[in-house]
């Protein structure tokens, strides 16, 4: 059998597969707990896990009260750990298990890190709860201040202390830290220092009995810690099997990454369970490089990396294809869940409305001037402008909409433009640009003027330029402000005419909104009754129209000029854009993610209201082909257009392309580095 190409392995692309385990517990039966731990470790191995996190004191049991202080219990615990260590020798995952361990006349509540038959280290709990139902200080000593220590356990001597982080020597970005339960309820969780010292994955072994509302609080703390410490956070709480003398247990397990929930367990599950997620550790490292505050915090904390011991281990990844255990959204600018989609659309739409409203007031303009083509972008800019007039208490007739048919304008789009202007009640007019275009082409000696079907870039840009030229002069004449209609996707691809063209306006209200999001914003406006039924009907018709610049006449077969046939599907281009601008990912990794997001139209979730007929799928060859074209357009040919864009509001945290905001790049750059990386990384 041929060896699989490393492109298909998560490890090639900086992912680490983590699991949060909730074994069926016992009440102090260490041998039984070891068996349950080993069974889950074997399951994790079969599932390709790199790291498994178990609950607090899962080897010893948590709710055994004064039995923690019994010598027989200590010996049983050590024997159980020895059994887990022996079983781990032939297993892939690093195991983080919980045990109560005596050392130097004290008993510590510990996280024990085990890999391939070796105890890598032991981390004692720092914060011991001693309030309400908790009495941990009755049994345990805090690990606070214990650094540069060792412990002898199960026949091995291992590092002991709160100054440990663990790093694979053969898998970049597999770097983790462990803390226990109450540690992350404290105002200063130890994992914060671990993250500042370099750990990308922070783990919490928790017992954490359940009371009403506590699951929400745990989820909030996990999400907040993963966001604030810029890390992945793996949390595992004790489940059924622990003593219910006075408490109950729900087995809540969660995996978060930079504030986002990747996986969660079935609570109150009487069977053992592991939840898995592929943590993008490389993405976390990239995010830390982007946010200088992270480094500032490390400096203010005294550079924790100097105080921590970094324990190295050989992980021995095999770079097999084990799939991808995380949801990868097809539309990274568009949430999958209805509630998040509604919230994002509400915010995006109102950001745009507020942006154009403020600029209109600041410019002391009398009118908003906008070219209305009947396409998506001008439609969205127009409905934003209409809402701005409503909010300012001004009549919509203060908007001057112009349809400007050219050589390839269809009656369908022109009719839609007029219908929309009438439905919204704006002041509409029409200027036929063909006579002026013929005059300009004739003055230039262009072959089209002599009747030849010469539809080159000059032919196209004469039309695009005249439209913008008219709009600016109309704005001069009527005290207006030209509203730009071009979107973020077009700026990324350079799919706009520079200078006197659709690249320029007085205010680029759509410049922060990608094409894929615009479609959902229009659907949101329809669904939430932002306008009347007549307007909604026209918006539906525009959404169903193929995207086209309508600059080149239809061919002999009647086929119109298709934007996506020329530059690629906007769904893919927006996917590429997000991961290049927001995360700085290598092209081969972007291709890997795109393949998992788009290769099967029947898999995963689609955002609400996305038409079934439009649910496409793409294979790797198609993705790679369009990605290569995107890289050339984005890095080599289009930056000069972005360097001179007009003002416009940033809308998405996914990024914007204004040189005054998110994106600064040379206009004379090259795409070679990205193209070569893509070529090297693909099978």
How far does the chain reach from its first CA to its final CA, in angstroms? Answer: 16
CA distance 12 to 516: 29
Compute CA distances 3 → 7, 10, 318, 547, 626, whole Å.
12, 15, 11, 43, 27
CA 509/CA 343 separation, integer angstroms: 20
The position carrying tokens 């291992």 is: 158
Angle at 574 between CA 650 and CA 611, to 5 degrees: 110
CA atoms within 13 A on the CB side of 675: 15
Q: How would you write 571-604 as a 3-class SS string?
A: HHHHHHHHHHHCCCCCHHHHHHHHHHHHCCCCCC
Please provide residue 580's backbone torsions phi and psi, each rounded to the nearest 5 degrees. Answer: -75, -50
Catalytic residue among 21, 30, 56, 257: 56
Question: Do 173 and 282 form a contact (C-beta atoms < 8 A)?
Answer: yes
210, 55 in Cβ contact below 8 A? no
- Half-sphere exposure (CA, 13 Å, Cβ side) for 37? 37
Rounded Cα gap, residues 647 and 484, in angstroms: 10
Q: Which residues contact 471 (CB under 8 A, 6 or more apart)?
A: 369, 370, 371, 402, 482, 505
CA distance 549 to 564: 10
Catalytic-labelled residue, pool 21, 30, 110, 181 = 181
Mapping DSSP to helix (H, G, I), strand (E, B) and coil, where does residue 629 land?
A: helix
> Who contacts 247 (Cβ-Cβ below 8 Å, separation ≥6)?
63, 133, 209
Assess whether 203 carries a catalytic annotation.
no
316 is catalytic: no
Residues sharing a CB contact under 8 Å with residue 572, sequence separation 6 or more, in sequence order: 594, 598, 618, 623, 626, 627, 630
Residue 181 among the catalytic residues: yes
d(CA 431, CA 203): 65
Nearest CA to 505 out of 361, 292, 323, 648 is that of: 648
- 580, 607, 596, 622 alpha-carbon torsion, rounded to 10°: -70
Dist. CA 564–CA 673, nearest whole Å: 26
* Local structure of 128: helix, strand or coil: coil
Length of the chain: 683
Active site residue: 110, 125, 231, 264, which one? 125
Q: Contact, 33 vs 63, CB < 8 A? A: no
Report DSSP state, residue 4.
P
Cα–Cα–Cα angle for 202, 205, 208, nearest 5°? 125
Residue 10 vs residues 189, 325, 341, 384, 481: alpha-carbon distances, Å: 30, 9, 29, 42, 50
Positions annotated as catalytic residues are: 56, 125, 181
């Amino acid at each position: 059998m041929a060896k699989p190409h490393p492109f298909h392995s998560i490890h090639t692309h900086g992912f680490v597969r983590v699991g949060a385990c909730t074994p069926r517990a016992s009440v102090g039966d260490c041998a039984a707990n070891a068996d349950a731990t080993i069974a889950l470790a074997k399951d994790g191995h079969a599932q390709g896990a790199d790291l498994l996190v178990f609950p607090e004191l899962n080897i010893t049991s948590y709710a055994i009260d004064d039995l923690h202080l019994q010598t027989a219990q200590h010996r049983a615990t050590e024997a159980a750990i020895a059994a887990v260590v022996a079983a781990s020798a032939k297993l892939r995952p690093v195991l983080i298990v919980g045990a109560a361990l005596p050392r130097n006349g004290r008993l510590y509540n510990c996280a024990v890190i085990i890999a391939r038959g070796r105890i890598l280290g032991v981390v004692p709990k720092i914060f011991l709860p001693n309030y309400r139902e908790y009495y941990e200080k009755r049994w345990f000593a805090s690990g606070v201040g214990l650094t540069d220590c060792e412990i002898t356990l199960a026949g091995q001597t291992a590092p002991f202390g709160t100054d440990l982080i663990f790093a694979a020597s053969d898998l970049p970005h597999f770097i983790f830290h462990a803390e226990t339960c109450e540690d992350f309820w404290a105002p200063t969780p130890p994992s914060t220092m671990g993250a500042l010292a370099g750990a990308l994955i922070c783990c919490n072994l928790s017992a954490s009995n359940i009371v009403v509302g506590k699951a929400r609080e745990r989820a909030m703390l996990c999400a907040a810690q993963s966001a604030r410490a810029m890390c992945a956070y793996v949390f595992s709480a004790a489940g059924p099997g622990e003593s219910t003398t006075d408490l109950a247990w729900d087995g809540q397990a969660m995996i978060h990454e930079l504030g986002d929930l990747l996986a969660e367990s079935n609570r109150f599950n009487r069977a053992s369970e592991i939840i898995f997620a592929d943590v993008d550790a490389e993405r976390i490292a990239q995010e830390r490089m982007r946010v200088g505050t992270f480094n500032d915090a490390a400096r203010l904390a005294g550079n924790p990396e100097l105080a921590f011991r970094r324990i190295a281990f050989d992980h021995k990844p095999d770079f097999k294809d084990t799939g991808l255990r995380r949801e990868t959204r097809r539309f990274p600018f568009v949430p999958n869940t209805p509630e998040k989609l509604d919230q994002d659309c509400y915010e995006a739409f109102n950001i745009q409305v507020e942006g154009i409203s403020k600029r209109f007031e600041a410019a002391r303009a009398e009118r908003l001037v906008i070219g209305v083509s009947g396409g998506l972008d001008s439609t969205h800019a127009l409905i934003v402008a209409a809402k701005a007039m409503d909010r300012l208490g001004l009549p919509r007739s203060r908007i001057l909409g112009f349809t400007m048919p050219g050589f390839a304008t269809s009656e369908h789009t022109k009719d839609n433009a007029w219908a929309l202007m009438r439905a919204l009640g704006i002041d509409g007019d029409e200027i036929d640009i063909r006579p002026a275009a013929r005059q300009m082409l004739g003055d230039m000696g262009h072959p089209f003027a002599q009747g030849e079907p010469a539809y080159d870039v000059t032919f196209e840009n004469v039309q695009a330029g005249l439209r913008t030229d008219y709009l600016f002069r109309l704005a001069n004449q009527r005290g207006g402000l030209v509203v730009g209609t071009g979107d973020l996707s077009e700026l990324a691809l350079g799919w706009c005419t520079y200078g006197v063209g659709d690249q320029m306006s007085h205010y680029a209200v759509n410049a922060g909104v990608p094409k894929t999001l615009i479609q959902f914003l229009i659907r949101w406006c329809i669904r939430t009754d932002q306008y009347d039924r007549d307007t909604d009907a026209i918006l539906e018709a525009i959404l169903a129209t193929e995207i086209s610049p309508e600059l080149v006449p239809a061919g002999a077969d009647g086929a119109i000029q298709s934007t996506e046939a020329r530059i690629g599907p906007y769904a893919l281009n927006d996917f590429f854009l997000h991961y290049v601008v927001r995360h700085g990912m290598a092209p081969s990794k972007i291709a890997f993610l795109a393949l998992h997001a788009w290769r099967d139209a029947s898999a995963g979730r689609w955002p609400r209201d996305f038409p079934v007929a439009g649910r496409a799928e793409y294979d790797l060859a198609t993705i790679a082909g369009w990605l290569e074209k995107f890289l050339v357009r984005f890095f080599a040919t289009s930056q000069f257009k972005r360097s001179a864009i007009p003002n416009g509001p940033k809308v998405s945290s996914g990024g914007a392309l204004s040189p005054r905001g998110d994106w600064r790049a040379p206009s004379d750059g090259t795409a070679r580095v990205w193209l070569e990386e893509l070529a090297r990384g693909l099978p």
